[in-house]
Amino acid sequence: MKLRLVCLLSIVALGCLDFGCSEKKVGNNELSESEIEAGWRLLFDGKTTQGWHLYNKANAPSAWIVKDGELFCNPDTFEVEHGDLVSDKEYSNFELKFDWKITTAGNSGVFINVVENDTIPRAWASGPEYQLLDHEGIGKDYLKDSTKWAACLYGFMPQKNVSKPKPAGEWNESKIVQNSGKIQFYLNGILTAEQDLTSEAWKGMVANSGFKFFPLFGKNTKGHLALQDWSKGVSFRNIKIMEN
């Protein structure tokens, strides 16, 4: 009996070596054991909007709701405030992962290093943007400006490596990394943007753009994260962050 047990354990061990023993699969808006060990934290629990609030309106009821495990900007409500949703906390060095899907011809974004202040009208007036876009539905005229494609550092440069988003209504996987002001954007596993927000080159780019009229734009390497309101609806899930 003991011999048979030893043989069985040996077979199991060899199977793990040959085929790999993966950890338990987790669902949406959950962390795996390895993610927890690495220091990842959920920014969206799949049930509530806890940890988030409207930009410059901390206590206002908003159009952002949780529906079927998605953080959804509801375009069909007028009884509550519409606007960008910002994280309660500020972040500096981090790796942020999130899934997103958008409606046909959708145009939204995720902002980093956002300064929340009554003198600043919108999140985009301080925070650089990771662009979210429906390429198939937005129209060829809009896509002529390649600095406004999905996963671009919006308004500043084309994709470093071409990565087309999935069609409207389908989920995309995105990642933003920031270390000491150096940022990287990814779309569905492909690096799409790199920039050093502390460099003279970046300062010159801002000074020669339409953002030059906003004194704090792109000058911070710490701030809130923000999800842009979209009038026809945008959804997020699996929002996770690991601070460095």
Per-residue pLDDT of the chain in tens (244 residues, 90 and over written 9): 444 544 444 444 444 444 455 678 889 999 999 999 999 999 999 999 999 999 999 888 999 999 999 999 988 888 888 999 999 999 999 999 999 999 999 999 999 999 999 999 999 999 999 999 999 999 999 999 999 999 999 999 999 999 999 999 999 999 999 999 999 999 999 999 999 999 999 999 999 999 999 999 999 999 999 999 987 889 999 999 999 9
| Cα 2 → chain centroid | 53
| DSSP H or E run through 35 | helix 33-38
If you count them, how many residues does the chain have? 244
Whole-model pTM over 0.85: yes
The helix/strand/coil state of 65 is: strand
Residue in 149, 131, 132 with CA at minimum distance from that of residue 140: 149
Please give the full DSSP string across 74-116, using - where no structure is assigned: -TT--SSB---EEEEEEESSEEEEEEEEE-TT-EEEEEEEE--
